[in-house]
Amino acid sequence: MIIEQIGDGMAVESNYRINGKRLWTTLMAMAEIGATPKGGVNRVALTEVDRAGRAQFAAWCAEAGLSVRVDSMGNMFARRAGRDDARPPVLFGSHLDSQPTGGKFDGALGVIAGLEVMRTLDDLGIVTEAPIELINWTDEEGSRFGRAMMGSAVWAGIDSEAAIKARRDADGTTVGHALAAIDAEGPEPAVHATADAYFELHIEQGPILERDGQRIGIVTGAQALVWFDAILTGQESHAGTTPPDARRDALAGAAEIILLVERLMHEQGETGRGTVGRLSVHPNSPNVIPGEVRFGIEFRHPEDRIVEMLIERFPGEAQAIAAERDLTLTIRTSFRVAATPFDPACVSLVREACTRLGYAAREIVSGAGHDAVHVASVVPTAMIFTPCKDGLSHNEAESITPEEAEAGAQVLLDVVLARANRRI
C-alpha cells in the first residue's frame, strides 16, 4: 500500500483511480442479499433481508477501518478521519433498501461506490483534510410504511421522529417496532450536525442520459411537484337504454381530463411532466355507464413558477370539461413539493470533475425524490447521475454496465477529494 500525504492537502489529482472491478464485485455481492429469481433485488427496509444488507455493509466498513455510528432512525455513518478531524465532514452515500421487486442499483450504487471511494483512498494512502462520512439512509423507498426517504427526513428535521416511528405497515407493525426487531436502532440522535457538503451518486431512473449519449448527469436540483386528487361524478346508468344526450359518463369525462394533463405536459417541452397514474371506475361493470371516477394527477417541473402556473390553470380547465358534460368535479391539491436547487458550488465540482475526467456530461434535474433532496435543506448538496438501461428502475430488469458504475464512482471520488481537501 502506498502511504502518501497529499502535500498541503490542497491538490486534487485526477489520476487517482477507483478500482472498477472491485466496485462491481462488491455491487454484485450486495445484490445477492435479497436476490430475486428474475435478477432483481427484494431488500425492503427494516426486514431480515435489510438486516443482512446492513450487517454486510458494516462488515465491509470494519474491514476498511471505518468507525460506524448508527442513529435512532437506523441511518448508518461510516467515518474516515481527516487530517484536521475537527473540520465539518464531507458526507456522501445513498440507501441499501430496495423496492419489493427492485433492481440491483437503485440506492446500492451510491453506497457501494462510496465504499469504493474509501477503499481507494486507503489503497492510495490518502488522508483527506476534512473527515469524510459514508451514509446508508434508512428506508428511502417508502414501499413498506408509505413514507419515502424517512431516515433522511428525520435527520434533516423535515419530519418528526415520533411521527415517523408511529407509522404502520400493512400488518400494523410500526416503524419503531420494525427498527428494534432487526436491531437497526442506534444510540446516536437522528439529528443533522454541521457538515461541509453531501454528494449522492444514483442511477438516473429515466432515459435522458442514455438517449443523449452522456456518461454522467450533473444534477442541478430536484423538480417541483404537485399532486391532485380528483373525484368526477356523473350518473350511473344502463349502457343499453341511455341515449347519447342523456349520458353523464364520468369515465368519458376523465378521458378528456387525462388528455388535458398530457397536453399541459407537452406545452413545457422536454422538461414537462404530467401523469395520471392511478384511476378507479365505479361501478366498473361492463354494461353500466360509469357514475364515478376517482383519479390522481401529478405535474412536475424544474421551476416552481411553472408548477404554480399549473396549480392556477389545471383545475379550472378540468372544471370546464366537467361542466360541459354536466359532471361534478371535486379536485384538491394533496401534496406539493417546491423545487430544490442544489448548491451551486457542489454542482460546479461535479461539472469540473467530468471535464477533468473527460466524461460526456450534461446538466439534468432529478425527476425522482432522493435522500439528497432532504439533505439539501441543511447541507450544501449535489448529485451525480449515471445512465440506466432504457431508463428502467423500480424493476428487476434495472441495469447498468460496469463502466457506467465505475465512471460514477470516479466522479464521486473526485468531488469528495476536491471538497474535503479544499482550502477553508
| Least spacing, CB of residue 226 vs a copy of itself, in Å | 12
Nearest CA to 385 out of 225, 224, 207 is that of 207
Of the pair 7, 244, the CB lying nearest a copy of itself is at 244
Question: Among 286, 312, 316, 424, which residue interacts with a copy of itself (rule: CB under 8 A)?
Answer: 286
Q: Which is nearer to a copy of itself, 270 or 312 (CB)?
A: 270
Tell me the closest approach of the beta carbon of residue 26 to a copy of itself, in angstroms.
26
Q: Report if residue 208 touches a copy of itself, rule: CB under 8 A.
A: yes
Residue 363 contacts a copy of itself per CB under 8 A: no
Segment interacting with a copy of itself (CB under 8 A) among 120-128, 171-179, 182-190, 254-262: 254-262
**Overall size of the chain counted in residues:** 424
Residue 394 binding a copy of itself, by CB under 8 A: yes
Helices (H), 325-401: 344-357, 371-375
Of 63, 262, 326, 403, the one binding a copy of itself (CB under 8 A) is 262
- Distance in Å, CB of 240 to a copy of itself, minimum: 3
User: Is residue 238 within the footprint of a copy of itself (CB under 8 A)?
Assistant: yes
- CA dihedral (44, 48, 52, 58) positive or negative: positive
98 touches a copy of itself by CB under 8 A = no
Asked whether position 139 contacts a copy of itself by CB under 8 A, the answer is no
Q: Which helix (H) or strand (E) holds 41?
A: none
Output the CA torsion sign for 312, 314, 315, 320: positive
Least distance in Å: CB of 310 to a copy of itself? 14
How do beta strands 224-233 and 328-337 pair? antiparallel
Check residue 279 for interaction with a copy of itself (CB under 8 A): yes
Region of 78-86, 108-116, 236-244, 407-415 interacting with a copy of itself (CB under 8 A): 236-244
DSSP code of residue 47: S
Of 402, 369, 384, 421, which Cα lies nearest the Cα of 110?
Answer: 384
Q: Are the C-beta atoms of 1 and 19 separated by less than 8 Å?
A: no
- What is the end-to-end Cα distance of the chain in Å, rounded? 29
d(C-alpha 135, C-alpha 201), whole Å:
12
Taking the complex as a whole, the smallest distance from the CB of residue 395 to a copy of itself amounts, in Å, to 8
